[in-house]
Structure 1
């Protein structure tokens, strides 16, 4: 390590201490001098001390760094104990912040400078956001905390241990993918819960519909249908959310397919554009009608609705197995039918395969038709999901908007094909 690098690393260590010290000093700015255990200068020197200790430790070994850190931690803790005793303050935040400052200074001197700086910024932000974080925690309900923990357990404990391969005789049931889809539904439900609580009924549903439509319009539809079943007075705004998610899905599939194969643009853009426009118009009518009726606030008892999500996951598994069996039976001769059945679960996969198929001019028309058919089947499947989960009332509203959109898309597709 040359002299220039040593100077740079020590400067970073000092800057880390100054950054954390700036926040700590600002928080105790009203206290008189010599009435606080550590302020701006102490934290700045702590970072610099950590850097110097790290550089010396390169020569003397890690034991030297450990001894100096132990002495520093003992002295810092002792002074903070005296301050806490005088002020009746039981917070250990400054002690931990002081230790972090020393260690990050050491890390900057002998380790990854970028990681040390990023960690220091994170520490400073956590310290500065004390009131905001405490306020946030105070507003969290037990069911919300439980939902967060369950969702994290589903994602980081259960998902990694599931086999990411097919385990059935038909080579179609993948536990990892099915559970991932269940997590997606639960996450969409939770996002919807948070959005409604933060932004209110209308804006929360619209925001969730747009975000959910980008990820999975089927999961979003299921979430809103489940809410409609629990909140019949809010069926119009939830039906509007389902239509918005469907429109976003059509736009997403169209853009995705055209990026992969631009030759499909003339066949897809007019039909998908017309259908999406009708869906958005229907959603607008639903939102306006809901505003006029002043529907009651949505009551969401279960932010995750895992039981309902598992039901849909099982249904999707059955559809996957059926699609695989039909594919093995009919092969390429049933391509359109198989594509439409597969689209109930994943319209994007159909779009990708058809975009590749359409690279051959001879198959271009069939590929475009398959994508449009997949979108239509996916849209109609959401009508079925809404009726199944949300009830007849919401299902009929979604059916009306969806059928109108598909008719508009079909007419435009026919006209564009004939021109």
Structure 2
């Protein structure tokens, strides 16, 4: 019984998927075909037939015959284009017809992939007006340039950089540092998009909190650059920078819970106090920022500042070198000193190290409190430096009290626990 033959069933499935692909794309093109002498030569039936031709050619003669059929379709498309009387010089329908032939051939071997690509193609074809309006009316020239810069930094420069320690004390990792540059640009772009979507009132605060889960230090650098560029957004930028610290506290909760629950219990009150202080300070500046920017209108411009991102990376490189030199000078004289030095660059790594020692029984969970808070304190110093460098004096003088309040609340919570 042939209908039970698996190979026959797969061929039937391939033909059915190919027909569906042709009908799907042809349906969209039929609606834009037009009428009269200027109409497009390809519509619903043509696309369906082209997709079936691709499928049948693969079944009969394999990839070689598919190439011949595709070449024939290309010749017919070229002739039809040259004879066309349409005022639209675009090649969208012609390119879609050639791709439909190839998708029909692909459907006989990988039907799921072919169907998925066909759906994406149909969406792109149907979204013509929206995409054109987005490019011409929504995006600015500077934003397009920024997109190209970001793509080059991510896809061209990053793969070429070595992923190994170099420089004095082996403290610098070029790939890791460049990732910081990319991260700052991405955060700046996220703030730019959020501001465009939500307005200058709340976009920076929301994007600052969300970006803080990636890097609070980088977020502060990006917010400082935004405040320097647009002083009327200073309050909103301060809110985003402060709320990024809330994300740092939340991340500490997560990594400590995954590493050592007793350590998290010992740090619960200090972290809650720090989180509450950061949230309160951030909310105050969010409200203040909304009032300050109530009459401000968003101006199209650059999505991020590449010089600010490079300056931030240079600053963090200096912090890493300082951290390595201090570690070399002091050695391993104590968990608190090493955690404080490591905290200049990152809070979570020394926190995990201290919690791991507690989990292995080498230290008590209460002994891990001071190293974690020391790392949080020195990381606050790094944030202050980055905030001053990226945002200038006006930004830093408003940000520093909030950062100091957060770390003071954490130490106060630790004191309360020790007293009780």
- Give the TM-score of the pair, scaled to structure 1: 0.91
Residues 156 and 42 of structure 1, relative CA distance in 2, 3 Å threshold: same
Q: Are the aligned partners of 1:323 and 1:338 in contact in 2 as well (CA < 8 Å)?
A: no
Residues 37 and 298 of structure 1, relative CA distance in 2, 3 Å threshold: closer
Matches within 5 A, 1:4-403: 4-28=9-33, 31=35, 36-58=40-62, 62-82=63-83, 84-85=84-85, 87-110=86-109, 112-138=110-136, 139-293=138-292, 294=294, 296-297=296-297, 302-363=302-363, 364-403=365-404
Q: Distance in 1 between matches of 2:161 and 2:39?
A: 57
Q: Are the aligned partners of 1:351 and 1:371 in contact in 2 as well (CA < 8 Å)?
A: yes
TM-superposed CA distance for 1:203, in Å, is 2.4
TM-superposed CA distance for 1:154, in Å, is 1.1
Q: Are the aligned partners of 1:251 and 1:273 in contact in 2 as well (CA < 8 Å)?
A: no
Number of aligned positions between the proteins: 412
Q: Secondary structure at the match of 2:226?
A: helix
Q: Are the aligned partners of 1:237 and 1:286 in contact in 2 as well (CA < 8 Å)?
A: yes
What do the CA deviations read for 1:87-140 (whole angstroms, capped 9, x no partner)?
323121001000111001101113x33322221122111111111110111122
Q: Distance in 2 between matches of 1:295 and 1:365?
A: 51
RMSD: 2.4
TM-superposed CA distance for 1:367, in Å, is 2.8
Residues 67 and 393 of structure 1, relative CA distance in 2, 3 Å threshold: closer
Q: Distance in 1 between matches of 2:163 and 2:362?
A: 36
- Structure-1 residue corresponding to 2:3: none
Which moved further from structure 2: 317-326 or 220-229? 317-326
Q: Are the aligned partners of 2:350 and 2:375 in contact in 1 as well (CA < 8 Å)?
A: yes
Q: Distance in 1 between matches of 2:120 and 2:369?
A: 49
TM-superposed CA distance for 1:297, in Å, is 4.3
Q: Distance in 2 between matches of 1:344 and 1:295?
A: 39
Which moved further from structure 2: 334-343 or 313-322? 334-343
Gaps of 5+ in 2: 1-5
TM-superposed CA distance for 1:263, in Å, is 2.4
Q: Distance in 2 between matches of 1:238 and 1:71?
A: 59
Gaps of 5+ in 1: none
Q: Distance in 2 between matches of 1:287 and 1:63?
A: 64
Which moved further from structure 2: 263-272 or 73-82? 73-82
Which moved further from structure 2: 47-56 or 191-200? 191-200
Q: Distance in 1 between matches of 2:268 and 2:254?
A: 9
- Give the TM-score of the pair, scaled to structure 2: 0.90
